Structure 1
Amino acid sequence: MDERPSSPRSPFGAIRAIDYTVIFVRDMAAMRRFYEDVLAFPLSRELSPNWIEYGLGNNTLALAKPSRTASDAPTPAGSASLQLAFKVSAAEVDQCADELVRQGVALLSPPTDQPFGHRTLFFRDPDGNLLEVYAEI
């Protein structure tokens, strides 16, 4: 009989969702134009010129200039520090691709049906972060 001792429950087990997603930005003006004008994310609030929030469903996406909470050097140009995946319907993946191209955004991968059951589209924001629009198919 292989019995493992029970470990104490972690307090992090209480986490049920991601509430805020914060992107530390190098170029706030370019990132703001991209998220507001290209992706048309609804501005929720602007706490300062260095902290801007967008409401996306139950999540808040914030653009922030690193300050007293992050003294790390910025991610080098050409390196992604995160990937965000935005879920839409299958038809909307293609519509998003068309809009990105219309807005002059280079696609890293056009709409593609993946063997794992997603239709995906990949591109980058002005700071080089990898963004994905996908649908379950």
Structure 2
Amino acid sequence: MTAGKPRSIAVSLGGISNLDYTVLLCNRMNETRAFYRDIMKFPVETDREHWVSFRVGAALLTLRPRTAWTVCDDGKSIPGSAAVQLAFRVPPSALDACHAELVARGVPILRGPTDLPDWRHRTLFFRDPEDNIIEIYAEY
């Protein structure tokens, strides 16, 4: 290393160690924005008409309309079909409270709190307005 020059570290694909952000492609942008802001209560990092990012721990969950854009055409989604499953970990003491809050806010639950001993998880499943599957889980 030469004095005064930062050392360059080569990183190949196998050296990637962080998922910085996830983009959900939306047909129902306003409803999905309101869901993650008002129901999930994720803090808004950036809010523009066609791009909104929520802070979730060290990562961003970003929404943008499904459309043709400069990189590619996103294509159509199939109504009722999930594109992704997002899993959010909470402390064991919080899972049942999350369930109660979702029910109180009228969110349809796919499967209520369930213990999965083989995974050492207690899980809860529901959908967002884009039909993506959302899991809240706690490890035990």
Cross-structure match for 1:74: 76
Return the letter of the residue paired with 2:96: D
Gaps of 5+ in 2: 1-10
2:84 matches 1:120: no
Runs of 4+ in 1 over 2 A off after TM superposition: none
Structure 1: segments with no counterpart, 5+ residues: 1-9
Q: Which residue of 1 aligns with 2:39?
A: 38
Q: Partner residue of 2:54?
A: 54
| Number of the residue aligned with 1:133 | 136
| Range with bigger deviation, 114-123 or 68-77 | 68-77
Query: Taking structure 1 as the reference length, what is the TM-score of the superposition?
Result: 0.88
Q: Tell me the matched-pair count.
A: 128
Q: Which residue of 2 aligns with 1:4?
A: none
Identical amino acids, percent of aligned pairs? 41
Match of residue 97 from structure 1: 99
Matches within 5 A, 1:10-25: 11-25=12-26
Secondary structure in structure 2 of the residue aligned to 1:16: coil
CA distance in 1: counterparts of 2:30 and 2:95, whole angstroms: 26
